[in-house]
């Protein structure tokens, strides 16, 4: 194998790219490392400087945050919303995209156009609120998972992926007597793990991070999702929001460290899921975006 000799211009280009990527990685990772360090910093340390390594490490902040009932209830609601919302969204997306991917489906281009139009035109917040209220979903978890159960963008991506699957797989299954439901769940979905994993990641992250719909649809405090609780703590920044516990009163905590700890507690769970789905992510997006 012949190796090409690099010229001065090639070396300069590589060095520039290396320095640029290093800078971008630094400005991306630094805020996260700063908040992580701040979350482990003792409350009696003056926050006059930005520390990457805490001068005085403590777990009091996490003990204070994790023993708060609002955060506990928020965790339960957010996990329930993420699991339920992701499952419903995947079922709706797959069941919509599969027929739209078939050439023999009557008027499939017309129905696909109807789906695509919703990406550019929507009713808005007020009609959505009136709809949720009129059908009795207010102050329930269904108000959080049903209005956004299906995304036009996800349907188009999933449809394009299904269109890239060879027709021979479906034809051989039909020869063996399989119907559309059996073909979908036993033939198509097992070979569609990349796009399923990609959509799962997108929908799960969207449900985990969502807070505005909970703010307007949920009226009971204990039913609020974790993001709303975090927003309240970060914006108000007061220790009065944390439940008074005699065993924790002696802990030295600072409003700023409590904010950082709350952000880390909210971010880390969904961040830990990404490495397990990463290998499917790029493949699912690229293959699902090729066919029109």
For residue 199, the tally of other CB atoms under 10 A from its CB is 26
Write down the pLDDT at residue 3.
58
Structure tokens at 97: 């995209």
Could you give the C-alpha distances from 28 to 22, 90, 261, in angstroms and in order? 10, 31, 19
Residue 289 near residue 157, CB atoms below 8 Å = yes
Domain ranges within the chain, ordered by starting residue = 59-288
Per-residue model confidence (pLDDT) at position 97: 92
CB atoms within 10 A of CB 242: 20
Q: How far apart are CA 83 and CA 56, in angstroms?
A: 38
Would you give the distance in Å from CA 112 to the centre of its chain?
A: 25
**243 Cα distance to chain centroid:** 29
Determine whether 102 is exposed, middle or buried from the number of CB atoms within 10 Å of its CB (0-12, 13-18, 19+): middle
Distance from CA of residue 236 to its chain's centroid? 25
Instruction: Return the structure tokens found at 51.
Output: 């520390």
Whether pTM > 0.85 for this model: the answer is no
Tokens coding 182: 């059996």
- What pLDDT is attached to residue 49? 67
Q: Is the dihedral of CA 48, 53, 57, 63 positive or negative?
A: positive
State residue 250's pLDDT score: 47
Fold category of 59-288 in CATH: MetI-like fold (1.10.3720)
Q: Which residues contact 162 (CB under 8 A, 6 or more apart)?
A: 97, 98, 101, 188, 192
- pLDDT by residue for the chain (292 residues), tens only, comes to 455 666 777 788 888 899 999 999 999 888 888 888 888 887 777 666 667 777 788 888 888 888 888 888 888 999 999 999 999 999 999 999 999 988 888 888 899 888 888 888 877 888 889 999 999 999 999 999 998 889 899 999 889 888 888 888 888 888 888 888 888 888 888 888 888 888 888 898 889 888 898 989 998 888 889 888 888 877 765 554 454 555 545 455 677 788 888 888 888 887 777 777 666 665 555 554 444 4
Return the structure tokens found at 18. Answer: 């290396």
């Amino acid at each position: 194998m012949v190796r090409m000799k690099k010229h001065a211009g090639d070396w300069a280009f590589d060095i520039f790219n290396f320095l640029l990527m290093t800078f971008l990685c630094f400005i991306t990772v630094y805020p996260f490392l700063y908040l992580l360090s701040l979350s482990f910093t003792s409350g009696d340390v003056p926050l006059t400087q930005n520390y990457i390594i805490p001068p005085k490490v403590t777990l009091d902040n996490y003990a204070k945050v994790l023993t708060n009932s609002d955060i506990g209830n928020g965790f339960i609601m957010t996990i329930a919303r993420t699991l339920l919302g992701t499952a419903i969204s995947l079922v709706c997306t797959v069941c919509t995209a599969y027929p739209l991917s078939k050439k023999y489906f009557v008027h499939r281009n017309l129905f696909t156009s109807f789906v695509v139009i919703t990406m550019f035109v929507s009713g808005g917040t007020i009609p959505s609120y009136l709809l949720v209220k009129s059908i009795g979903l207010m102050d329930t978890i269904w108000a959080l998972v049903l209005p956004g159960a299906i995304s036009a963008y996800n349907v188009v991506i999933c449809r394009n992926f299904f269109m890239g699957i060879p027709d021979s797989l479906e034809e051989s299954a039909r020869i063996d007597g399989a119907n559309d439901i059996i073909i979908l769940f036993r033939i198509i979905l097992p070979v569609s793990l990349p796009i399923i994993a990609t959509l799962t990641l997108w929908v799960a992250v969207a449900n985990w991070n969502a807070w505005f719909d909970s703010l307007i649809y949920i009226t009971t405090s204990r039913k609020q999702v974790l993001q709303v609780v975090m927003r309240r703590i970060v914006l108000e920044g007061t220790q009065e929001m944390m439940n008074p516990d005699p065993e924790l009163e002696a802990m030295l905590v600072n409003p700023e460290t409590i904010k950082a700890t709350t952000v880390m507690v909210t971010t880390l769970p969904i961040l830990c899921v990404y490495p397990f789905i990463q290998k499917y992510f790029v493949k699912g997006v690229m293959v699902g975006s090729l066919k029109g």
